[in-house]
Structure 1
Amino acid sequence: MSFFIAGAGGVGREALDAAIAAGAAVDAFLDDTLAGGKVRGLPVLRPTEAGPGAAYLIGIAAPAARARLAELLDQLGLTAATLVHPRAVIAPETRIADGCLVLANAHVSSSITVGPHAQVHYNATVGHDAVLDARVTVYPGANISGNVHLCADATVGSNAVVLQGLTVGEGAFVGAGAVVTRDVPAGQVVVGSPARPLPPCDR
């Protein structure tokens, strides 16, 4: 079966690294902007050039772009695949949905649910019984404590910490290095330690 990585930018190239480490052959990147060229020796095609029956993994950080591309590629008859770097740890009783990307040295602990097209980047940790909904992004070095709920399209920045039992709402963004000590409402951007809402004029 053919296998494509959607997105030939930074996350897409990191996804290729994971595929190489896992022994998974990648046929091409899918990227409208870079179509017709080559990246890391692989051809870059438009998403609409990918044939039905192939597998795909979206290597793009932005949740909205992941949602758009997943809908398009599903409609074209492709199937979402999950890619886990062999140096990542996935503990027992953890369920990872189709389309997820887990990079090197990530530690996804026991009894966790990871929704479709979520990403856990390198050196990030996710504690027991956490729930990551669709298209969640956990950036490098972030620490998600146990029983945390990251709602759909939420992003946790590099080296940020979300403390035990909290909820980060749909589409919320936790800035790099922030320490989340209370629930974050949907759509809110929080920064600092302890994390506080970022004023709209600073976004």
Structure 2
Amino acid sequence: MPSATDPSATEPPAPDPSGLWIAGAGGVGREALDTALAPGVPVAGFLDDRQHGATVRGLPVRRPAELEPGARYLVGIADPAVRQRLAALLDGLGAEPVTLVHPRALIAPETLLGPGCLVMGGAYVSSSVRLGAHSQVHYNATVGHDAVFGERVTVYPGGNVSGAVLLADGATVGSNAVVLQGRKIGAGAFIGAAAVVTRDIPPGAVVVGSPARPLRGA
């Protein structure tokens, strides 16, 4: 394992054409690259329409539509709707989503991660958890026992999802937010940073504060 002062801890190796393609060359995409570098997963480059033709962290950037059938990919974008669109495009091209887990993340027994999941360093995912396809658990976030995630769920850094919580498709838990035991979070709901969720949240709601309440005007 490279040390913090080892250049290989921050600089990617030469592009590997047979390696993983990361869709999204922004902040989460680069954090996905960090997650891949830690266990030595070969990375071919990034897929990003806005930055195609450029180089990011020493790796080439291509258009997502240029990906070849059979290539492996991971969507490194926080927005669940964009994640859904890109995954559908890449699946339609015959590419294969892969799950990426940092070696300093902890995944407990009897937990299942769907295809395309991203679990960053310092995250803890407890026993008997189910993460749906293309879900993300960011660094230092925790997920309690028996929690169930739909597809494209996001838990931002420091988020705390308690046991037996259900997060439907596209739900997001903000940085340092807490979702208490057994709560149900509807599809597309957004839990603001540092909010404390004490009751179920309906689909599409944006809630903030402690206890979490709907954002005025949302």
Range class of TM-score, shorter chain: over 0.9
Structure 2 counterparts to residues 1-203 of structure 1, below 5 A: 1-200=18-217, 203=218
Post-superposition Cα deviations, 1:68-98, rounded to whole Å, max 9, x if no partner, equal: 0000000111000000000000000000000
Aligned to 2:10: none
| DSSP 3-state at the match of 1:5 | strand
Q: CA deviation at 1:22?
A: 1.5
Instruction: Encode CA deviations 1:148-202: one digit per residue, 9 max, x unaligned.
Output: 00110000000000000001100000000000000000000000000000012xx
**Residues of 2 paired with 1:72 and 1:154: CA distance?**
21
Asked whether the equivalents of residues 69 and 93 of structure 2 are also in contact (C-alpha less than 8 Å), the reply is yes
Q: SS at the partner of 1:27?
A: strand
Question: If the length of structure 1 is used for normalisation, what is the TM-score?
Answer: 0.98
Segments ≥4 residues shifted beyond 2 Å: none
Tell whether the 8 Å contact from 2:169 to 2:188 is kept in structure 1 after alignment: yes
Contact 2:156–2:175 (CA under 8 A) maintained in structure 1: yes
Number of aligned pairs? 201
Aligned-pair identity in percent equals: 67
Q: Please, what TM-score do these two structures have when normalized by structure 2?
A: 0.91
- Contact 2:78–2:154 (8 Å) recurs in 1: yes
CA displacement, residues 35-81 of structure 1 (integer Å, 9 cap, x when unaligned): 00000000000011111111000000000000000000001110000
Deviations 1:20-46 (A, max 9, x none): 001101001000000000000000000
Check whether the contact 2:19–2:41 (CA below 8 A) recurs between aligned residues. no
**How far, CA to CA, are the matches of 1:180 and 1:190 in structure 2?**
8
**Alpha-carbon offset, residue 100 of structure 1:** 0.2
In structure 2, stretches of 5+ residues that fail to align are: 1-17
